[in-house]
Structure 1
Amino acid sequence: MTAPNQALRADAARNVDAILTAAAEVFGELGADAPLDEIPRRAGVGRATMHRRFPTREHLFAAILRSQVDTLVDAAEARTGAEDPWGALLEWIGAYEEIGAPYRGMSARLSAALLEQASPVGELCAPMRTAFDVLFRRAQDLARVRRDISSADVLAIISALPRDPETGRARTAHLTVVLDGLRRPAPESARSLTE
């Protein structure tokens, strides 16, 4: 026989799963500014049930994005010793581009959260920012990445780029301009210096 507390915990866990599934669907269909009332309706729970666990839209975003952020932390850590630091940086940024892609308007929210840091999404992203910073600094040291910009600035800029309506990713031309702008020019040759 199941104890009453166990049954309550199982019900609560099912409610959380239903809310997050519904939230991912709603934000995927209607974007990050979707009406929140649609989420408990689809989840089959009351509004109060959702708000007890997820008091704000930001709390829902953080819960939905958690596994992707954890994957990005692991991806950054796995690339810190790569022989090609620039290639490692580009690979990681490509993976980062996927985080908000399914939800229209989410990338702009990420951009703000990365700079604010005090919101639920900002707190969620703190380990990711730290792991990316290590990768970014290594690229600055070994791959001629400019030093007058921080890793957090790079993430915020990429997140704020206009999105392709089909894929949700930054438009290729815009992302290319940003990435090209990260590289310091190669040192002039000794010949050009003496001319």
Structure 2
Amino acid sequence: MATSTAGTAAGTAAGTSAPRPMRADARRNYERLLTEARAVFAEHGTDASLEEIARRSGVGIGTLYRHFPNRHAMMSAVFQEALADLLERSRALAGAEQPCGALVEWLRALIAHAGEYRGLARALMSASAEKGSALAACSVPLRAAGERLLARAQESGAVRTDVSIGDLMQLTNAIALAAEESPEDGQLADRLLTLTLRGLKTDPTAVPSA
């Protein structure tokens, strides 16, 4: 998920408004840290040891913290590609013939993202209350994208007008967390989303399929 913007990504991940270009050696350290963070998060979840990530990257913990001042900053950088994919998906769905179906498809994509790494759903839920964190900042473009899809579904008359995108994003994280804690039930997330949709629709007897 490291991109051509790696030279400025450290500042972005830390939530600063004026990222500085990195020297070549600093860029290499940054990219190694991201690579190992993905591997360690995949193996041990997002609560994994930052010291282990630094060790695997061949750098000291001080170097890790210079690039990523806290865990949320590192997680934000790791998930930039997934964020870009979700935003692209929202743009592709923006003109869908069935606005409610488009919203449902996007919510399923959010649940899949939140469930990609153990602990991510819980971190996303807690980050929503930490407005200054890098991980919370990641949700800003997602909320805007989701609001557009939700507005179309509401304008079509399929979804209640008192539903907010903030509520929906919290619900998707909660569904992903429930599915994470019951891995033996592979259909739990879909069942919970279906139940949620029944509460969202103006006609609770009809639930759209993506």
Give the aligned partner of residue 200 of structure 2.
Answer: 182
Change (3 A) 1:149 1:186: closer
- Tell me the percent identity: 38
Give the aligned partner of residue 17 of structure 1.
Answer: 31
Matching residue's letter, 1:45: V
Conservation of the 8 A alpha-carbon contact between 1:101 and 1:168:
no
Ranges of 4+ aligned residues in structure 1 off by more than 4 Å: 166-170
Give the aligned partner of residue 5 of structure 1.
Answer: none
Give the aligned partner of residue 96 of structure 1.
Answer: 110
- Which runs of 5 or more structure 1 residues have no equivalent in the other structure? 1-7, 188-195
Matching residue's letter, 1:158: T
Give the aligned partner of residue 10 of structure 2.
Answer: none
Conservation of the 8 A alpha-carbon contact between 1:101 and 1:169:
no
Further displaced range: 140-149 or 57-66:
140-149
Give the aligned partner of residue 42 of structure 2.
Answer: 28
RMSD (Å) for aligned C-alpha atoms: 2.3
Matching residue's letter, 1:100: A
1:84-134 superposed Cα distances (whole Å, 9 cap, x missing partner): 101111111122122232310101211232354331111122111101101
Report deviation, 1:9: 1.9
Matching residue's letter, 1:38: E
1:128-169 superposed Cα distances (whole Å, 9 cap, x missing partner): 110110111110111411122201110111101202437999
User: Mapping of 1:153-168 within 5 angstroms?
Assistant: 153-161=167-175, 162-164=178-180, 165=183
Conservation of the 8 A alpha-carbon contact between 1:114 and 1:155:
no
Further displaced range: 151-160 or 112-121:
112-121
Report deviation, 1:178: 1.2
User: Mapping of 1:1-195 within 5 angstroms?
Assistant: 9-161=23-175, 162-164=178-180, 165=183, 171-185=189-203
Residues paired across the two proteins, number: 180
Conservation of the 8 A alpha-carbon contact between 2:198 and 2:204:
no
Using the alignment, how far apart are the partners of 1:169 and 1:42 within structure 2? Answer: 36
